Structure 1
């Protein structure tokens, strides 16, 4: 009997233990696996794996769980590259995400952030572009730190962020006036906006319970409200205010920003009580003091800056004269290379040890541009302010230096282009690292019946596609790559191509199953989707378009948008598709879209795609003019596909009257006219669509196909608009 009781007790203990460290929630596993892949699978994240992991049970570094749910992720200062995953919203129990002091970014912050965060810290990374609208919905958020990035647009409404106590937007590129919704952050005590390009007044902050406010080094104007002058730590220097507050009661603490450790080092632990950036490199701590002292300091600063610049100019003039005597020639006679690019000016540091790793004195303008991209240090600020234009994006044209910065600088290398050690070395791809099956030519010849015409299912910009049935009854789509446009080493190029494609992982991308590189053959094997392409369903004259309901069309648009968003904003470096069109959208049994031809368009010459007649209706105006593709040209092509879904017409149809051959040209003038819009809808829908949903769909199209690329939204915003369309139209949560 006693033995039985002991057994029961042991069983209960095991049950309790399993409840604490058991298998992690499947959604959390999916989100963290995607996050790990988006970070390029870094080895410093010990115990993390890209598939079939158990973050809670296997003690993934930086991950804390409660039961089976992940509640915190803290990976600061670990030298991580890449970006956040595209499906972080699956982490519904996550309360804190700290990925600060890394090298994440190069793209926008993904919009699908964890919805119930209390603390979000992405400080000191490389995120660019627009803030995700999803932050607007984080009602539980109380700490938000996005300082020291390269963000430029605020796409957030702050009405629901009433619990937010600390907000840090410092050291970014934000411009324009402060959002009116700032006034709704009724718990905000700490706000850092320094070193941006904000304009207008700060009146919207008047009634906030602020105790710590830094708006230094912006372009604010007007007056500082009297009510705000009593803020205990107020910093306003570097603006155009007509009045000044009283001197700050306490000086801001010195900058204690830690250096980034190497990936092999131990990660630094984040401090929950630490404050965000506090006016680093802002000069004095506030705008108080007598005006004469401020004026004197400004004059002294200008004089010192001019002396420094003069010394630099003199240095280069003396150096060139010395070179002319030593070499018996004039370095200015080199028409193609500046002294910097040709390697004739030796390295010499002009800054203190804190910035030696970032800047080079080959040319102070180059140092300033590097400063702009890597976080400017205070030693170069006087020089940069003179050499750089007001926007900070280019060198001033009136600076009397004939040195031009090279397009790309690697400061750790010699700048002598004739140095053989500088020649790029082709790295061989490790075949074992490619996550795809290596087929033999015989395998695929048998499966396609020697690539017979009977099994030919299509021909695209990069080769013909054949249906292949393997001996195990598995069906694949095999693409024979046409390398006529590739001049050298097609096999090496192909292996790199396979390695790049195999890294892509998104449910709305066509999945790479395997490849073959034998006997001069370059073959890619993908999952076969028997419903074919969206182009075939919409435009073949057999009535198949009737199977696409309005909900199915919205579903296809949303899934395709998410795929492009992944390529543009999650992949690092980002990927431009270049060849987005309805024939490259493949549909599975449930009409889920899968985008094909991803991952290698950038390696095909632009002109190859530009001259293709099949792409004429999808090309953005700037592509037609210059042949240069971008993320915004992909957005345009996506808008054209949305028009196909709306109207059932082809992107370009020579059988139509001349004024209607170009779908965009025919449709854009009618997108905002309700009566005309109803007449444009694909007759196959037979009027079965919600009017409001149709109108919002048309609004999204109009934004995407604007002729000016700068006015087209990023794909994350397009995804958000389609998600809102689905939610408001009650199409079902499965789509959103």
Structure 2
């Protein structure tokens, strides 16, 4: 009997390989990843919809049974981002996307696979800090984030990563002291920190079983932290900024003779290094990325040492999203000097770039007659909303399907411009994200232009906040955070995953629709192309969502969307409208009234929506207000990209004092 059972198990296991029925969560995540990497043709076998990577070969994908366990796409010249759903790949233990062009100056996404043992994003173009989600990867053994543009100080987030054996953070722009939680990396044997701007001591590494430590190109020492602006001499136990041979020597000598011999040997090595430096100084040297590519394709091999003169830069003060006190840390607010060119700057300077060809429309074609029947000839009884470009009607079809149909005003699209409308429809039909309202179909007939979207039962956020009656139930604090986070994720997708980026331009609480579970779905995405800019400007100015630069010059960028999102967060926090003429003059504009008080804890308690009746964590409220303050800054260049806003809100949830059970039910966090 036992033998029969064993044979049956082996047969089932073998058939899982033959059939290749890949887990659908893995398929969906790989589809999204393929699209976010601009559907690169070099990814043979990959597809944006469906497919079976465990049944048919997909480039770089390895499976075990029906689960994807490894993705290795090093040196494939990939661009774009990592999508938004890799966190669903719970069986993935190896992810190597090194030596590509991923990131585009954006941050490393927070939603990484949770059970990774090996992660390499080396040799890409990521900026910002290390995402908090990495601190939860308790199985992680090898981490390589070298040769990027990462910056800021390291958060004290390494306490749970006791399994790490190799970590490479070299050739970035990290600043500040080494975090205390480094002392928890009890299995760490290789640590590369060279060519950053770290300061302070390496005392936290004293008890670790390190065999290979590289710290040159920093302001690190083995003694007390020197005062600002002071540089310790190499003879005083410091890690000299220009000394490329600065590595941990684990073995200590107990005799004077042995120490003297070691000193002589080290001196000879240093002199040899200096001579070598001057011999090769005049020769052309490869870039750091080229050197990284020549690591013999080893996942975590050590890059060759560089003998490079570097000028130490003192870390500049910035604002931490937790406290908004001046600190040297990873933060949302970019530094005011030497700012990296943003996505917005790139867009404003690419007017001569050839527009990519429009993809086929992936939506159903409706007849005007069918939509008239479903909406009772667009009757007032079925009217559910009115926006800047038209009215929205509830449409119920014979099979019971309910859709929301937007009937676009004739003034929004000039006569005989059906091709322009179809271009917009084609673009909208490419947008797929859990927090973006899905386009189901369209109609372009007899001069009528209509869009049919999925219908969301709970209406808009505007109505839930501002049209309460005695039968309405106020939104809980957990649901408000859930709505803010979901909306932020939608904008992150539009701004940083879509290529080219999508400006929303009409961001307001009326366009945040809520389903039965109060999950948000951003509507009107991709419609900016058919609405005159002045109409957006006039509408947003009147309603209080307009960023200062839009009001002053009509110039709209991605950071203008970030400002409008900050206003929505203010609505969620205060329960007030962005502009309310019924209020005293000093309180009519929500941003002007609230902005000076966002860092005042006592004032926050008075500003918060009274309908919450005090049922919110005070610390979470303060952090929520900190994020708002960054989003509604007057200068657009100081507003954070949406990926950083998302990470801040995720951290807010994870660090909140609210119960885990409440968040798992209401927030559905990865």
TM-score range (shorter-chain normalised) is 0.7 to 0.9
CA contact (8 A) 1:585 1:596 kept: yes
Distance 1:609 1:460, change over 3 A: same
- 1:371-393: CA deviations, max 9, x gaps? xxxxxxxxxxxxxxxxxxx9597
CA distance in 2, matches of 1:637, 1:409: 24
Alignment of 1:198-277 (within 5 A): 198=197, 200=199, 207=206, 209=210, 211=212, 213=214, 215-216=216-217, 221-224=231-234, 234=244, 246=267, 247=269, 271-272=297-298, 275-277=301-303
Distance 1:283 1:580, change over 3 A: same
- Cα displacement (A) at 1:51: 3.9
Alignment of 1:48-59 (within 5 A): 48-59=46-57
The DSSP-based 3-state class of the residue aligned with 2:92 is: coil
The DSSP-based 3-state class of the residue aligned with 1:611 is: helix
| Greater Cα shift, 207-216 or 557-566 | 207-216
Q: 1:732 is matched with which residue? A: 663
| Greater Cα shift, 557-566 or 597-606 | 597-606
CA distance in 1, matches of 2:233, 2:620: 46
Q: 2:304 is matched with which residue? A: 278
Alignment of 1:341-420 (within 5 A): 391=338
Aligned length: 588
Distance 1:525 1:220, change over 3 A: farther
Q: 1:472 is matched with which residue? A: 399
CA contact (8 A) 1:72 1:96 kept: yes
The DSSP-based 3-state class of the residue aligned with 1:577 is: coil
CA distance in 2, matches of 1:627, 1:406: 16
Distance 1:521 1:123, change over 3 A: farther
Q: 1:116 is matched with which residue? A: 115
The DSSP-based 3-state class of the residue aligned with 1:70 is: strand
Q: 2:140 is matched with which residue? A: 141
CA distance in 2, matches of 1:62, 1:557: 36
- Cα displacement (A) at 1:646: 2.5
CA contact (8 A) 1:727 1:733 kept: no
CA distance in 2, matches of 1:70, 1:727: 35
- Cα displacement (A) at 1:228: 6.5
Q: 1:157 is matched with which residue? A: 156
Q: 1:537 aligned to 464, 467, 471, which one?
A: 464
Q: 1:497 aligned to 410, 424, 442, which one?
A: 424
- 1:131-175: CA deviations, max 9, x gaps? 323223334434333334344445643533454444444554x26
Distance 1:41 1:189, change over 3 A: same
- Cα displacement (A) at 1:669: 4.2
Alignment of 1:507-656 (within 5 A): 507-543=434-470, 545-601=472-528, 604-612=531-539, 616-656=543-583
The DSSP-based 3-state class of the residue aligned with 2:53 is: coil
The DSSP-based 3-state class of the residue aligned with 1:514 is: strand
Q: 1:98 is matched with which residue? A: 96
CA distance in 1, matches of 2:212, 2:653: 38
CA distance in 1, matches of 2:653, 2:614: 22
- Cα displacement (A) at 1:19: 5.0
Distance 1:659 1:277, change over 3 A: same
CA distance in 1, matches of 2:488, 2:198: 34
| Match status 1:15 vs 2:12 | yes
CA distance in 2, matches of 1:406, 1:95: 36
CA contact (8 A) 1:651 1:662 kept: yes
CA contact (8 A) 1:635 1:715 kept: no
Distance 1:486 1:434, change over 3 A: closer
Q: 1:364 is matched with which residue? A: none
Question: Which structure is larger by alpha-carbon Rg, 1 or 2?
Answer: 1
| Match status 1:40 vs 2:38 | yes
Q: 2:646 is matched with which residue? A: 716
CA distance in 2, matches of 1:269, 1:499: 43
- Cα displacement (A) at 1:128: 3.5
CA distance in 2, matches of 1:60, 1:406: 33
| Match status 1:191 vs 2:118 | no
Segments of 5+ residues of structure 2 without an aligned counterpart are 220-228, 247-265, 312-336
CA contact (8 A) 1:168 1:277 kept: no
Greater relative CO, 1 or 2 (CA 8 Å, sep 6+): 2
- Cα displacement (A) at 1:586: 0.6
Distance 1:623 1:445, change over 3 A: same
CA contact (8 A) 2:199 2:218 kept: no
CA distance in 2, matches of 1:428, 1:520: 25
- 1:639-697: CA deviations, max 9, x gaps? 32222222222111111111111122333444455554344333333444445544444
CA distance in 1, matches of 2:634, 2:449: 38
Q: CA RMSD in A?
A: 4.3
Normalising to structure 2: TM-score of the pair?
0.75
The DSSP-based 3-state class of the residue aligned with 1:569 is: helix
Normalising to structure 1: TM-score of the pair?
0.69
Segments of 5+ residues of structure 1 without an aligned counterpart are 237-244, 261-266, 288-389, 395-404, 411-422
Distance 1:560 1:5, change over 3 A: closer
- Cα displacement (A) at 1:510: 0.7
Distance 1:653 1:121, change over 3 A: same
| Greater Cα shift, 675-684 or 508-517 | 675-684
- Cα displacement (A) at 1:594: 0.6
The DSSP-based 3-state class of the residue aligned with 1:478 is: strand
- 1:504-536: CA deviations, max 9, x gaps? 221111111112233433322101113211111
Distance 1:434 1:733, change over 3 A: same
- Cα displacement (A) at 1:610: 1.9
Distance 1:210 1:259, change over 3 A: closer
CA distance in 2, matches of 1:135, 1:506: 23
Alignment of 1:161-172 (within 5 A): 161-172=161-172
- Cα displacement (A) at 1:81: 2.8
Distance 1:181 1:228, change over 3 A: same
Distance 1:156 1:679, change over 3 A: closer
| Greater Cα shift, 498-507 or 219-228 | 219-228
Distance 1:87 1:484, change over 3 A: same
| Greater Cα shift, 579-588 or 679-688 | 679-688
Distance 1:199 1:10, change over 3 A: closer
CA distance in 2, matches of 1:618, 1:607: 14
The DSSP-based 3-state class of the residue aligned with 1:532 is: coil
Distance 1:157 1:206, change over 3 A: closer
The DSSP-based 3-state class of the residue aligned with 2:68 is: strand
CA contact (8 A) 2:435 2:487 kept: yes
| Greater Cα shift, 588-597 or 484-493 | 484-493
